[in-house]
C-alpha cells in the first residue's frame, strides 16, 4: 500500500467520523433539561433526591438560593470538588437559567424516613434549637429565617426539611469551621460559629426525620422580621 493510498484512507476515515459525530450531535436537543442532565447523577432525576444519602434536593428551592450557591461554588465561597469543577466556567446568566429551571419544578417529595440512631434527648435538643433557638447564646430559631414550616422563604432562604441528615450536619459544620461562606452580611457564619458539634448533630437529626408538609413551596415572606441581617434576604 502506497503512502498516498494510506493518506486517502485516513482522510476518508476522518470524514466518516466527522459525519457520524455531526449526525449524533444533531440528535441531542439543546434544551435546559439536556444541559442540566449532569446534575441528576448526584441530585437525583430532576433534582428530587430523598432524605437518605448525602446530596440535597434541588427541585422547588428558591431560585435566588440556587443561583447564590452555584455562584459560591464558582467564586470560592463553597467547596466541593465536583461542583467547583462544573461551575468554574459558567456565566451568571447560565447559572441563573439553571437555578430558575430547578426552582420551577414542582415535584412530590419522597417519603421521609424517620429511622434514626439519635436518642430522644438529642432529638428534643434539636427540636428546641429549630423551633425556639437559644437566646442566651444568641442563636435564633431555624424557623425565624427558614419559615414557620421550615420550607424556605423567597427569594433566597432554602428549606430545611426533606434533606439528608449527613448533608445538614456537614453544612452546619462547614459554617462552624469557616469552610463555607455567603456574601455579606453572612448571617449563617454568625450562627454557625455559635453552634457546638452536639448542637449540629441534634438539629440535623431532628430536621432529617420531620415529615414534609402538604404545601412544599417556599413562603413568600418570613413570619416576622429577621433576627439579623442576611444577604439571602436583601432589604
Together in a domain, 92 and 128? no
pLDDT of residue 45: 76
Q: Are the C-beta atoms of 80 and 42 separated by less than 8 Å? A: no
**Residue found by looking up cell 434539636 in the block:** 126
pLDDT of residue 10: 43
3-state secondary structure the chain: CCHHHHHHHHHHHHHHHHHHHHHHHHHCCCCHHHHCHHHHHHHCHHHCCCCCCCCCCCCCCCHHHHHHHHHHHHHCCCCCHHHHHHHCCCCHHHHHHHHHHHHHCCCCCCCCCCCCCCCHHHHHHHHHHHHCCEHHHCECCHHHHHCCCCCCECCCECCCCCCCHHHHHHHHHHHHCCCCCCCCCCHHHHHHCCCCHHHHHHHHHHHHCCCCCCCCCCECCCCCCCCCCCCCCCC
208: pLDDT strictly greater than 60 = yes
Together in a domain, 98 and 149? no
Together in a domain, 202 and 135? yes
**Residue at 113 is within a domain:** no
Contacts of 144 (CB under 8 A, 6+ apart): 133, 222, 223, 224, 226, 227
Give me the percent of the chain exceeding a pLDDT of 70.
Answer: 86
Together in a domain, 90 and 36? yes
Together in a domain, 135 and 202? yes
Number of domains in the chain: 2
**Residue at 147 is within a domain:** yes
Q: Which helix (H) or strand (E) holds 109?
A: none
The phi and psi torsions of 139 (rounded to 5 degrees) equal: -105, 110
Q: Which of 1-15, 51-65, 67-81 has the highest mean pLDDT?
A: 67-81
**Residue at 44 is within a domain:** yes
Model-level pTM?
A: 0.86
CA-CA distance, 142 to 203, in Å (whole number)? 9
User: Domain holding 168: CATH number?
Assistant: 1.10.760.10
pLDDT of residue 1: 53
Q: By residue range, what is the domain housing residue 129?
A: 120-208
Together in a domain, 194 and 159? yes
pLDDT in tens, 168-196: 999 999 999 999 999 999 999 999 999 99
Contacts of 215 (CB under 8 A, 6+ apart): 149, 151
Mean pLDDT value across the chain? 89
Together in a domain, 34 and 97? yes
**Residue at 6 is within a domain:** no
19: pLDDT strictly greater than 60 = no
Q: Which of 5-14, 45-54, 92-101, 108-117 has the highest mean pLDDT?
A: 92-101
CA-CA distance, 86 to 69, in Å (whole number)? 13
Amino acid at each position: 500500500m502506497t503512502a498516498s493510498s494510506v493518506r486517502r484512507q485516513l482522510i476518508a476515515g476522518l470524514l466518516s467520523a466527522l459525519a457520524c459525530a455531526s449526525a449524533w450531535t444533531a440528535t441531542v436537543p439543546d434544551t435546559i433539561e439536556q444541559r442540566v442532565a449532569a446534575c441528576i447523577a448526584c441530585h437525583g432525576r430532576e433534582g428530587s433526591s430523598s432524605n437518605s444519602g448525602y446530596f440535597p434536593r434541588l427541585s422547588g428551592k428558591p431560585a435566588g438560593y440556587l443561583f447564590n450557591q452555584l455562584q459560591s461554588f464558582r467564586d470560592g465561597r463553597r467547596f466541593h470538588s465536583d461542583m467547583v469543577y462544573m461551575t468554574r466556567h459558567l456565566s451568571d446568566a447560565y447559572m441563573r437559567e439553571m437555578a430558575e429551571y430547578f426552582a420551577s419544578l414542582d415535584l412530590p417529595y419522597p417519603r421521609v424516613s424517620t429511622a434514626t440512631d439519635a436518642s430522644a434527648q438529642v432529638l428534643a435538643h434539636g427540636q428546641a434549637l429549630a423551633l425556639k433557638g437559644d437566646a442566651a447564646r444568641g442563636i435564633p430559631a431555624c424557623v425565624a429565617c427558614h419559615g414557620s414550616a421550615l420550607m424556605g422563604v423567597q427569594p433566597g432562604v432554602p428549606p430545611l426539611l426533606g434533606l439528608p441528615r449527613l448533608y445538614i450536619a456537614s453544612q452546619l459544620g462547614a459554617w462552624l469551621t469557616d469552610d463555607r461562606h455567603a456574601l455579606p452580611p453572612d448571617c449563617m457564619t454568625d450562627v454557625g460559629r455559635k453552634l457546638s458539634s452536639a448542637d449540629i448533630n441534634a438539629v440535623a437529626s431532628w430536621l432529617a426525620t420531620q415529615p414534609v408538609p402538604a404545601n412544599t413551596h417556599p413562603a413568600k415572606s418570613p413570619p416576622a422580621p429577621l433576627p439579623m441581617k442576611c444577604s439571602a434576604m436583601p432589604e
